[in-house]
Chain A
Amino acid sequence: MDFTLIGQSLVSGLGIGCVYGLIGIGFCVIYNASGIVNFAQGAFVMLGGMITHALFVRVELPYGLAILLAVLIVALIGVVLERVVVRPLWTRNAPMFVMILATLAAQIVIERLTYLAADDQPKTLPVFTDVPPIMLRGIAVNIQSLWIITGSLAIVALLALFFKTTRTGKAMRACAINREAAALQGIPVHSMLALAFALSAGLGAVAGIMLTPTQYTAYDVGVPFAISGFIAAIIGGFGRPFGAFLGGLMLGVVQATAILYFGAGLKTVIALSILLLFLFVRPSGLLGAAK
């Protein structure tokens, strides 16, 4: 086997793994704040790319502004989803399967609305920096992959800083550990839930925006990404944001390597096999589940 080819796969795997990781973090942030597994997470990824495309291509806003606005809009959609779908069920202590079904339904609704508002044609975005790939010992590293990797690492570092040092971040952690005790301290747990949805939606949007220039986006790309992000979160230990990022990297690299050996047709099979492997052998994931 050509080592250059393996190196190439690793780079590509790390790039897509970062995206899975960001989506996985989104799952964890919401789960920690509410105990809910939000299967509409993939919709945020899709909306990030689609809204940026609409603002950049149709409205003709500058690319940077279109990205910024898209992230904000998707974060707002996250808050609306929380208020309209999740909170009414959450306050009634709806069982987990009801919440999962509700968020899946929301995913489908968002998907269909996007289809009606746009169309079914794949859309892409320009790379962030239009320069040729960097060659490292025969391995071509495209700049967009570097954007994805460094951007994701920066986001993970900023998130860690947010949760560790800010009053709101600490309050969100407290809600994750013991929601009732947090409420007894006067921490507004409902606002923290809304914030968790905004944060997760924003993360999903960023992931979708960074990825779209290397692939494409369309109204129906959300579910596969949601599944990959969910697997990343399981691998890392559900509820562990940093674990989810590691899980995403692992999933991305294993998938890329496996595609090299077995072909792209087995990509999903490999991802689901990893999920099953972890569920059977180490259900608490790499870092141990948070709850």
Chain B
Amino acid sequence: MTATARSAAASAGAVPILAAQGLSARYGQVQALAPIDFEVGAGELVAVLGPNGAGKSTLLRAILGLVATGGEVRFLGTVLPRRNPVAVASRGVVLVPEGRGIFGPMTVLENLELGAYRLGRDAQERERRFARVYELFPRLKERLGQAAGSMSGGEQQMLAIGRALMADPRILLLDEPSLGLAPRVTEEILETLRVLNRSGLPVVLVEQRAPSALKLAHRAYLLSLGRLAAVIDPREVHSHEQLAQYYFA
């Protein structure tokens, strides 16, 4: 980590709530992610940037223990289990996966209900969560009875984030939420993430559109070919040329 990035982390008031040490990942015999240290502080929005195949999604999957990993991931001081996404989700670490992972044949309402699967029968809390999601994404409320798979890409992404919020996450991880979306819709989604983060929710955002992500992020990790290439302080990036320097360094 560069000195400036360290100071950026410090300035975000970041006591790490999520800390990965020596986290690596492999698919079979292929090392997809070289050992990496990764931190997210309380209230931080951390972007993970890099070109296709850089290992961004693998990093998220490694944090959740969805792939064979080395190293250790701690969340709020306790080690996260490996190969047990259910247990990880129940700790409040919730991922919006690449491709959204919505349940297409099911209705919007059913998708949202399943987001709150672990809540049980607390109707008051359920209503509070629904109200929060509807406030952020009013369009979802208009489409409750619609099959999720029949909605537009942007609406599906809203649903994927809304469903994740129904779990009342303590940290939200998003894998390429802008993938396949029009720029206007992407801005809408990213603005919602900004609102969520300002409300105190830590966010990890994997994103190929680096300029958009850097506008939101307190800190960014740049990956290349499965390795950490740089930790970027967005305040130090004033132009595309500067960003390109990081990419080509």
Contacts and interface: CB of A to CB of B under 8 A. Distances in A.
Interface of A: 167, 170-171, 173-174, 177-178, 180-190
A253 B114 CA distance: 40
B72 interface: no
A185 B101 CA distance: 10
Given A173-B106, A178-B103, A181-B97, A188 B113 contact: no
B101 A178 contact: yes
Given A180-B66, A180-B85, A180-B97, A185 B104 contact: no
Interface string B133-174: 000000000000000000000000000000100010000000
Interface string B110-128: 1001110110000000000
Contacts of B94: 184-185
Given A185-B115, A187-B114, A174 B103 contact: yes
Given A183-B89, A186-B86, A186-B167, A174 B106 contact: yes
Interface in B175-221: none
Contacts of A170: 106, 110, 113-114
Given A170-B110, A185-B115, 16 more contacts: A167-B117, A170-B106, A171-B114, A171-B117, A173-B103, A177-B103, A180-B85, A180-B101, A181-B101, A181-B103, A182-B103, A184-B94, A184-B101, A186-B117, A187-B117, A190-B86
Contacts of A178: 101, 103
A167 B66 contact: no
Interface in B73-107: 85-86, 89-90, 94-95, 97, 101-106
B33 interface: no
B117 A184 contact: no
A184 B97 contact: yes
A185 B102 contact: no
A82 B94 CA distance: 29
B223 interface: no
B103, B110, B113: which has the most chain A beta carbons within 10 Å?
Answer: B103
25 contacts: A170-B113, A174-B106, A174-B114, A177-B106, A178-B101, A180-B66, A180-B85, A180-B101, A181-B97, A181-B102, A182-B103, A183-B86, A183-B89, A184-B64, A184-B85, A184-B94, A185-B89, A185-B94, A185-B115, A185-B117, A185-B163, A186-B86, A186-B89, A186-B118, A187-B117
Nearest to B93: A184
B183 to A, nearest CB: 26
Contacts of B89: 183-186
A38 B96 CA distance: 32
Contacts of A184: 64, 85, 89, 94-95, 97, 101
Contacts, number: 59
Give chain B's interface residue range (CB within 8 Å of chain A).
20 to 34
Nearest to A168: B117
Contact of B86 (A167, A173, A189): A189
B103 A188 contact: no
Contact of A187 (B86, B101, B102, B105): B86
B106 A186 contact: no
Interface string B14-41: 0000000000000000000000000000
Nearest to A170: B110
B105 A177 contact: yes
B235 to A, nearest CB: 33
Question: Which 5 pairs across A and B sit closest by C-beta, in order of nearness?
Answer: A181-B101, A186-B89, A183-B85, A186-B118, A177-B103
Contacts of B163: 185
A186 B91 CA distance: 9
A182 B90 CA distance: 12
B81 to A, nearest CB: 12
B113 A167 contact: yes
Nearest to B64: A184
A167 B106 CA distance: 13
B114 A185 contact: yes
A177 B105 CA distance: 8
B103 to A, nearest CB: 5
A120 to B, nearest CB: 45
Contacts of B117: 167, 171, 185-187
A173 B147 CA distance: 14
Nearest to B105: A177
Nearest to B92: A186
